Structure 1
Amino acid sequence: MKLNHLNLCVKDLNDATGLFQDLFGFELQDRKGDAIAVMKDEEGFTLVLSCSAAFGGENPIYPEGFHVGFYVDTKEEVDRFYDRLVGANLIQPDQGAKNIRGGYSLYFKALDGILFEITSFA
């Protein structure tokens, strides 16, 4: 069995699409107005972003501990990602990466509170 895609509900489709393109290198494959954006990463993973308000729903509220995690090859890549986040004002300078559970991890919140993780196990 192969995981085909993940649908992530977001409040603002433009903000979410921009974040995944600019920070994570996803490419926009298709867009349906302000309702749905289909994106792919360089590994071929499909991420579907949907705006629940476009379907008459409420803004998403994710449970404590929910997060979107990315692995990178080196600690230096985590640190470079941190520098990009500081430069984009998405993280405070005192929120750097830490050694956690055998990895070197950086956590930050974006898109109205969604937690993101960038980790290297090198």
Structure 2
Amino acid sequence: MKLNHLNLCVNDLAEAQHFFEEFFGFQTTMDNSHVIRVLDDGYGFILVLSCTGEDPPKYPHGFHVGFYVDTNEKVDEIYGQLKAADISVGNHPRVIRGGYTFYFHALNDILFEVTCSSS
């Protein structure tokens, strides 16, 4: 079985679309203006962004979107790009539970993780 897609509810489709394209390399494959955006990561995973209206969605404690990258240098690169774009990234990447990782909040307080598994 293969996980095909995830629907992430956001209140600003354009902001979320730009965020995933700019920092994580997604490409938009469908743009239905104010309702839905479909993005492809190029590795077989589809991210669907849907509009929730004016109120930001409330995700449960611990919910997060995680990205694995190949090297510690890539973690540092993404951290630097986010910081340069004035996105509050908090602590510098560090070793957490065996991976080189940082966490940050974006898109109305959704928690994100970027990590490289240490070997």
RMSD of aligned Cα (Å): 1.4
Structure 1 counterpart of 2:69, from 69, 72, 83:
72
Aligned counterparts of 1:34 and 1:24: Cα–Cα separation in 2: 22
Task: Name the residue aligned to 1:9.
Answer: 9
Structure 1-normalised TM-score? 0.91
Aligned counterparts of 1:99 and 1:116: Cα–Cα separation in 2: 16
Task: Name the residue aligned to 1:42.
Answer: 42
Structure 1 segments, 4+ long, off by >6 Å, are none
* Shift in Å, 1:114: 0.4
Letter in 2 for 1:80: E
Partner secondary structure for residue 23 of structure 1: helix
The share of aligned pairs that are identical, in percent, is: 51
> Is 1:113 equivalent to 2:109 in the alignment?
yes
Task: Name the residue aligned to 2:78.
Answer: 81
Partner secondary structure for residue 24 of structure 2: coil
Letter in 2 for 1:14: A
* Shift in Å, 1:3: 1.2
Aligned counterparts of 2:88 and 2:81: Cα–Cα separation in 1: 9
Q: Is the 8 A contact 2:101 2:116 kept in 1?
A: yes
Structure 2, gaps ≥5 residues long: none
Which stretch of the first structure deviates more once superposed, 11-20 or 57-66? Answer: 57-66
Aligned counterparts of 1:91 and 1:3: Cα–Cα separation in 2: 30
Structure 2-normalised TM-score? 0.93
Task: Name the residue aligned to 1:91.
Answer: 88
Count of matched residue positions in the alignment of Structure 1 and Structure 2: 118
Q: Is the 8 A contact 2:103 2:111 kept in 1?
A: yes
* Shift in Å, 1:85: 1.2
Letter in 2 for 1:61: K
Letter in 1 for 2:64: H
1:12-27 alignment, distance < 5 Å: 12-27=12-27
